[in-house]
Amino acid sequence: MTESDTIAPAKTRLLDAALKVIRTKGYVATTLDDLCTEAGVTKGSFFHHFKSKEELALAAVEHWNTLTGGLFAQAPYTQIVDPRERVLAYIDFRSAILQGELPDFTCLLGTMVQETFETHPRIRDACEHGITLHARVVAADIAAAKAQYAPDAPWQPEDVALYTQAAIQGAFILAKARGSAEIAANCVAHLRRYVASLLGIVQDAEPGLPTNPIARGATGKTTKKR
């Protein structure tokens, strides 16, 4: 903040390195030397900023929440007025960001919690908090859409929001197993179809693959705020 922005400070570089390396190798396999090399700092610098590897992990989750929170808050789909369209555009957005290498778009929290849920309760809690946080944001839009288009439906917006997160996390696992993002896009397309049906959209029975959210264009077709 107060510093000049010529080059990011060591702490930020370490946090960015953590996101990258942990998403690639997992938390346990990531060594402090890995992180220091990636960040271009030394061990001394690491322990100046973080008390332990676990403390870094907790800080990395915070960092992740900040970055992804900003990404979704500033995404174009948030400008869509109609809540049902907004929810579907959110899912389209999740599909659209499946770009680059696997560690570039998979989720830090889902990756870490698998390794740590029994052994590192603080990390597990942090991951749970991050996932729940995002699910709440999604749930708000779903609730608005439900109120307008399916007020009497028997499902809860929070449950559906959590289900969207589960489907996306599972899509990441399949993508990692296959070494390709393609299957993840397929899963998100099915998720979209389901959420659309929950919100009262009857699927047109056109022949072909499931609706491809990228191809149909996530934005530009509906009214925007302001």
Cα separation of the two ends of the chain: 31
Under rule CB under 7 A, residue 33 binds DNA: yes
Per CB under 8 A, which of residues 134..153 are in contact with a copy of itself?
152-153
Indicate the residue among 9 and 200 with the shorter CB distance to DNA.
9
Integer angstrom CA distances of residue 111 from 10, 27, 76, 91, 102: 24, 8, 27, 20, 12
Could you give the angle at the alpha carbon of 163 between the alpha carbons of 205 and 66, nearest 5°? 120
Work out the angle at residue 117's Cα, subtended by the Cα atoms of residues 171 and 121, and round it to the nearest 5 degrees: 140
Which CA distances in Å does 186 have to 108, 114, 175, 208, 212?
21, 23, 10, 13, 8
Q: Kindly tell me which of 55 and 159 has the beta carbon lying closer to DNA.
A: 55
Residue 10 found at the interface with DNA (CB under 7 A): yes
Which residue in the set 79, 169, 219, 222 belongs to the binding site for a copy of itself (CB under 8 A)?
169
- In 97-199, which ranges are continuous DSSP H helix? 102-105, 108-116, 121-149, 157-178, 182-198
Residue 81 contacts which entry, DNA, a copy of itself, none (Cβ below 5-8 A, type-dependent): none
> Residue 44: what are its φ and ψ, rounded to 5°?
-60, -40
Is residue 20 at the binding interface for DNA, with CB under 7 A as the rule? Answer: no
* Cβ neighbours of 7 (radius 10 Å): 10
User: By CB under 7 A, which span of 37-45, 149-157, 162-170, 218-226 interacts with DNA?
Assistant: 37-45
| Residue 194 touches which of DNA, a copy of itself, none (Cβ within 5-8 Å per kind) | a copy of itself
Partner that binds at residue 151, options DNA, a copy of itself, none, CB closer than 5 to 8 Å by kind: none
Binding-site size, a copy of itself (CB under 8 A): 57
> How far apart are alpha carbons 76 and 74 in whole angstroms?
6
- Which residues here bind DNA, judged by CB under 7 A? 9-11, 30-33, 41-45, 47-49, 51-54
Chain residues binding a copy of itself by CB under 8 A are: 24-26, 28-29, 102-103, 109-111, 113-119, 124, 127-128, 131, 152-156, 159-160, 162-163, 165-171, 173-174, 176-179, 183, 186-187, 190-191, 193-194, 197, 205-210
